[in-house]
Structure formats: C-alpha cells, structure tokens
Structure 1
Amino acid sequence: MILTLGCVSAVQTILIGVFAGYYLSDSLFDEIGQRALMVSKTVAAAPSVIEGVQQRDIDELNRLATRMTLTNEALFIVIGDHYGIRLAHPTADRIGRSMADDDGDWGLRALKEGEAYVARAKGSLGESMRGKAPVIDPDSGDIIGIVSVGYGVDQVDAIIKRYSFVLYSVVGLTLLVSIFIAMVIAGRFKRAIFGLEPEEIARLFQERDATLQSVREGIIAINRDGVITTFNRTALETLGIDPETPLSGKPILDVLPESDLLSVLESGVPDFDREVWLRNRQMIVNRLPVRQGTDIIGVVASFRLRDEVDQVSRQLTRIQQYADTLRSQTHEYSNKLHTIAGLIQIEAYDDALNLIGSEVSDHQALIHLLLDAVPDPVIAGCLLGKYNRAREMGLRLHIDSESRMTDIPPDLPRDQLVSVLGNLIDNALEATRQHTGAGGIVQLSMTDLGHELIFEVQDQGPGIPEDARQRIFEKGVSTKPGAEHGYGLHLVRQFLNHWGGSITVDDLPGEGSRFTLYLPKKAKGRNHQ
C-alpha cells in the first residue's frame, strides 16, 4: 500500500509539476509578447516618433529609440520607414538596411496590412519575442513607418528558471509529504483491519456472505446515512422484491418507506419482536443499532413473516368459511327442495310456485343489488356467502339498498378487506343469534362517498359495556366464552392501524351494537408502522 500510494502520489505530483512548468513558460512568453506589442504601439503613436519618421531624422529617432529601450527594459527598439528600411537600430551598421533581412517579408505585415501583431523570431540581436506596430500619419491616415520592439528569450528563460526552482522545490516537498501520508494511512488501515492480510479478509468475507445467505430470516443493514449496505436473498423473498433488484447503495426509505430503521439510528434503542407492516405484509421485526465506540454507525434489522402457523390458520379459516358457505347453501337449498317436493306431492302447486318465486326473487334482488353497488367480485362474493350463512342460522342479513362501494383504492388488498368485513359480520351474527335466537336481523350499510370507505354493521346482540369497548380489540380478549376467541377484532385493529383507518363502537337504543369502519382512500392518510 505504501508503494502504491507513493507511486500514485509521485506520478500525480510530477504530472502537476510538468504541467505547471509548461503553463508557466507559456504564460510568461505570452505576457512578454503582449508587453512587446503594447510598447510597440505606444512608440508608434508617439508624436516625436511620427515626426522623426516623416522627416527621416535618423539621429533623433535613434536617440528616442535608445531612451525608450532603456525605459521599457527591452532588448531593442527598431524604427523603419514605409519601405521597411531601418531608420533606428541599436547596431549602427544596420541602419539603412531592410528589416526583411531578419524577419523576411512576413515581418513587414504591419506595413502592408496596418496590423499590429506579436511574433517570435531570431535576428541579428538573437532570438526574441517581438511586437510590431505600424506608424500612421495622423493627418492623412497613411502608413509611414513601422516600429519593432523585442524582448530577448534569454530574459524569459531567466525568469522561468527562477520560478521553476521554487516550483520544483514545492513539487519535491509535496512528494515527500505524500509518501509520509501514505505511510500513515497504511498504518491506520492495518490497525483498522486488525492486522489481517488481504487473503484473510477475502476468506472472512466469503464466510460472512455464506452465513448471511443461510439465515432463513430477512436481514437488511443500513449505515449512518440511512443507505442500505447489506441484505440477503431471504429479505428480497420476504418483502416480495425481485431477486435481481440491487438494493446496495439505495436509501432505505426508497425501498421501504414505512421502515422505522432511521428512528432506531437516531435513538440508539434496540427494538425486539415488534409486529409491523412492510410492503403490505405483516412482519415480526428485530432492530439493533451498530456501534463503533460510542457512535452509532448503522442499524441491522432481521424480520420474518408472522408465524407460519398463523398464516396456515388464516388460510384454513378462509377455507372453512368457504366450506361453511357451501354447506349452508347446500343445506338451505336441500330444505327448500324437500319443501317444494312435498307441496307438489300434495298438489299444492300454487304454493310451490310462490315459494320458488319468492326464493328466486330474494336472491335475484340481492344479486342485482351487489352487481350495481359492489362491482368488486371478491367483496360481493363475501357478502353473498354471509347472506346465505345468516339464513342457515335462522337470521337475516339485510344490506341497505342505498349502499354503494365502487370506488375502492386499487392498492387496498381485497383479501384483507374481506377478512375484516367478514369478522365484523360473523361477530354480529353470533351476537344476534345468542341474544334473540331465530328471526334476528343484522344490518349492513356501505358508502364510498367522500374521502373514506365506510362500513356500518349493526347487530341485535346484548351490547358491549362502555369499559370493554376498547379492550375487545386486544389480542385474546372476547365477550364470548372459550379460549379460541379474541382474535378477529384484534386482526381488524391491526389492519386499520396499518391502513390509517379507524373503528367506532356504539350501543343502540334498546339492545344491540353498531360497529362503524372508516378507511381512507388516499395512501397519504395511512399510518405505516
């Protein structure tokens, strides 16, 4: 690691140094060129120079050129006429010769095009950065001469060497500091990994991954920023997520908006065996903060679906309900058929027809009501089954003809809604039968107007004492005798807590109770746990 970090730092430092040196050199040459150009323009615009060129006063022009050369610390200032013939030059024997001797014809572009420019060239005084500008007659606007100002490349090289020494000294010092930092980082890293070698770390990682995948509970871990760092296949299966979905690096709230892992991250308080809803599934969750010293650096959660026995029990209960419905329908229609057969045998044909018509009429009316008011086949089927169940018990389930339940949110699980509604109706039927016997009535009304789904179930039972109205929703608490009761309303309350709903219990005038269920249509009103 020391060699790697040292080499990387060396390469980076050297590249930066080379680039800085090149950039410094290029910038200085550009700056010197611009300076030569500015001086040449200034000299070309000086009235004394313009007058000297007009009068071809060589002595005066050479005196001016010498003074301006010293003032501007230039290598030379050369002045020529409109033919490019030198009128002023630091070397006397060059006066009267063409400036093209050094620069060629391109060096006289200022005379031909009236353009000031910068060039790098080698002349009689050595290589230099030159600025050339035309001398223009202010009265006529004609080009009457040219000024060339040069700064020696040796001057620029001296400046570059002076700065380069400082630059490369800093580069060398930076390299040494980088190597020292690499040694410090390597030492700290070795202590952080408990002195393990890379091969040992790889082996431990493989063992950890195998252990993680072998656990039959879902496991998800987040870091201090709430980002998922670890998960296993069971977590994906339990949550119903596509196994190919990459969870690492995603914020936990993007995957599980209802998760409470962030609250555990903030409080540092572990949470064990808590029943929650995740992705519309009821889970048993354990959450444990991960600490490094006194700091909380993450949270690990393990979770599983509620006891498989409970799941099997609920499935068996639903199957039993379907079986009871079929049995009640079979029993009821068997009785009806026997009655009709008897009426036919005694030749009471009109009574038989009336009984058949009444039977068909009642069922047709109920079916038409359900088709119009409850288009959802799952809920309609549940209500039809409960209607037949009530008739078998000698009771009557009356569904309000003004009921309407057509605007059910698509994300509301129908099986859970049916389970809740079925529990309420079953409780009402049982309470009515025990209190009134045959002939009792259980009334159901539904509405989806407004922002909520409202179900109202009214029985003719003995009523519920006020001090027991909240306790009946606790697990194992029931007004019925026997240890097998006390779970239906508990499941109702759990469903409502998850979906942000509520339920009220009221005593009716005389005898009986009314359970009113409220479910919000919008997901934002739900209270995820």
Structure 2
Amino acid sequence: MILTLGFVSAVQTILIGVFAGYYLSDSLFDEIGQRALMVSKTVAAAPSVIEGVRQRDIEGLNRLASRLTRTNEALFIVIGDHQGMRLAHPSADRIGHSMADDDGDQGRRALVEGKAYVARAAGSLGESMRGKAPVIEPETGEIIGIVSVGYGVDQVDATIKRYSFVLYTVVGLTLLVSILIAMVIASRFKRAIFGLEPEEIARLFQERDATLQSVREGIIAVNRDGVITTFNRTALETLGIDPDTPLSGRPILDVLPESDLLSVLESGTPDFDREVWLRNRQMIVNRLPVRQGAEITGVVASFRLKDEVDQVSRQLTRIQQYADTLRSQTHEYSNKLHTIAGLIQIEAYDDALNLIGSEVSDHQALIHLLLEAVPDPVIAGCLMGKYNRAREMGLGLQIDAESRMVDIPADMPRDQLVSVLGNLIDNALEATRHQTGEGGRVQLSMTDLGHELIFEVEDQGPGIPEDSQQKIFEKGVTTKQGAEEHGYGLHLVRQFLNRWGGSIMVENLPGVGSRFTLYLPKTSQGSDRH
C-alpha cells in the first residue's frame, strides 16, 4: 500500500510539476511578447518618434531609442523607415542596413499591412521576443516607418529558472508529504485490520464463511443501522425462508418484524437462551452486541428451534432413565442373587425357592398388567424401569390394576410422553423418600376413556404449598433443597402440555402427599389450557 500510494502520488506530482513548468514557460514567453508589443506600439505612436522618422533624424532617434530601452528594460529598440532601413539601433554599424537581416520578410507585415505583431527570432543581438509596430503618419495614415522592441530570451529563461526552482521545490515537498501521508494511512489501515495482509484477510473470510455454513444453528448479524450483513444457510432453513432469498443489505425488520435485535443494539446488553417466536416458530435465541472499542457496531444472533432443544433434553432424560433402570436392576438382582446363593449354601432350599417364586410372581404380575393395560412398548418399558427404580430406593410403585392406556393417538410423540410421565414419577419418588424414607408408596393410575388420556400420580411427600403449585412449572424453580441442577423436569412437562394443548392439576391429599393429574387430549389442540 505504501509503494502503491507513493507511486501514484509521485506520478501525479511529477505530471502536475511538468504541466505547471510548461504552462509557466509558455505564459512567461507570452507575457514578454505582449509586453514587447505594447512597448513597440507606444514608441511607434510617440510624436517625437513620428517626427524623427519623418525628418530621418538618426542622431535624435538613437538617443531616444537608447533612453527608452533603459526605461523599459528592453534588450533593444530598433527604429526603421518605410523601407525597413534602420534609423536607430544599439550598434552603430547596423544603422542604414535593412531590418530583414534579423527576421526576414516578417517585417513586411508591419510596413505593408500596417499590423503590429509578436515574433521570436534570432537577430544581431541574439534570440529575443520581439514586438513590431508600424509608425503611421497621423494626418495621412501613411506608414512611414517601423519600431521593433525586443526582450532577450535569456531574460525569460532566467525568470523561468527562478520560478521553476520555487515550483519544483514545492513539487518535491508535496511528493515527500504524499509519501508520508501514504505511510500514515497504511499504518492506520493496518492497525484497523489487526495487522493482517490482504491474503490473510481473504483466507479468514473464506474460513469465516465455511464456519458459518457448518454451524447447525441459524446465525444472522446486523450492522449499527439494523441492516443484515451476515447470515448462514441454516438461518434460512430454520426460519422457513427460501434458500435462494438474498438477505444481505435488507433491514432486519423487513425480514423479521418481530425481532428484538434493535433493542440489543440500543442497550448493548447480551441476551442468552431467550425463548421467542419468529415467523410462527418458537426459537431459543442468543444475541450478542459487537463492539469496536466503546462503540456498538452491530449485533449477532444465533438461534435454534426450541423443539430441537427440547428433543435433546428429552433424549438426555431417557438416557438417564435407562441408566437408572439398568443400575437399579443390577444392584437389586445382585443382592437377591447373593441372598439366594446364601440360602442354598445353608441348605435352606425352601426359602430360596420361595424367594425366587416371590420375585418371579411380582414381575410376572407387573408384566401381565403392562401387557394388558399398556401395549405400547415404549411406555411399558418406562414404567418397568420406574418400578425397578422404586424398589432400589426402598419404595414401591403401585400401578392401579384398573388402569388402561391403549387408545394413544398415533401422532402423539412417544418420547415426549415418556419424558413427561417419567418426570412426574421421579418427582413423586423423591418426595416420598424424603418424607417417609423406605417403605413409602407412589401410586399411578391411567385411563384412556373419553376424549382424553388421564394420568394420576400420587406421592406420600410433604405436599406443595398452594402459592407454589404453579411456580414449580417455571424453569429453574424447585422445592428440593440444595439441588441447583433441578427445576427443569416440570418445566419440560409444561412445555409439552403447551404444544399438545393439555393441562395438569396439582392438589394436596388429606394428611400427607400430593396428586398430579395430567390431562392430554387425544387430538392436539395447540393451546395452553392450564
């Protein structure tokens, strides 16, 4: 950049200097020529000159010419008669000779045509700029002579050199200043781009574009005017916009009228994990202002469909449930196998058989109930896992023998239903163990009669204060002490109910415990009924 700007400045300055020098030279020669012409006309019109030419007063004309030469700082003033013969000349030996020796036939223009003119010629006194004017008899208008006034070219060259020195000094200083300015601009520009070279900037731009397109979250960035500057393909897909739609250069409010990016632009406050609706889709949005020093120059927003976040949460919940189930079954059966082995070793065969029969009987009864009442394998598997989890905790999970859950809508997402039901049962088990210790019971009843699926979960916990019965569904709110990681299960329950149009009722039981009753319409309503 320094070389480029310096070269451009040098070329411009040199061209300007050459043009200025040429223009100065041409102007000075023109100015000297016009001065010579003006003096020649003035001398030719002087009465003393007219009279001297008329009388051929050579001596008087020479004195007059000599005085006028000094007065006008001219190189010479020559006066001739109507035939072009010199009557006055700085060199006495030239008097009486034709003026054609100096400038050929050009003098005829003044003597024949009566026209004054300027010429550049080399004469007996050297090269000069000459102004020639005819001497005219005032009374008759007859041309009786000619006056030639000359200024030496050396005088003009000396003047040009004097002005040229100043001109080219200024040109040189201008060139130096231009180079210094180029260096300052390049230095400031390089600091502004963090010391990167153009090739590095191009590579970083390509990397940035590849990074944007590889991110699975939608990304949109706006400048300080709220105009979109950056976006990725995922943003278009997430928002349901045609992938070929150009967004760059468009105001964000034209594309997303409900966007709050401009408020972040004004406040400069980051916004994380906020749930918003964009183009009739619920999103989880993060917004971060872009700062350059103390100035906010834009905002970057990343967003993802909330369903995807919930799906991840549900999958993590299911994985946790499966892990808990396997762990509880491993622990429980390990203990019972050890017990059976001990009974066999002490030859208590009847007790060993009774224990095996009791275990088989309990599981067979549960399996038979689930096969009859809950043919859906995903829900049945969840209830079997919770049954084993309860036994590991020293509790009991009792499923009402009259329960029935057969008519489950085909479009109801099973993973979400299992997540909701699992969260309710887990909360009931935790509350019961906290209140009663081992030996407590959690009861579950289900029915699909009518137009709704109804689940009731009763625990033997401490109950829930009435003023907290709705707050517990808010994100991060929990009644468990010292459990910062809790407060999300019931929030997921509420989110599922909002989407499906279901409702949940919380009530405290007489004495101790609470009951959660979940209502899910067999047809999605898409409204909040709780």
TM-score (norm 2): 0.48
Bigger Cα Rg = 2
TM-score (norm 1): 0.48
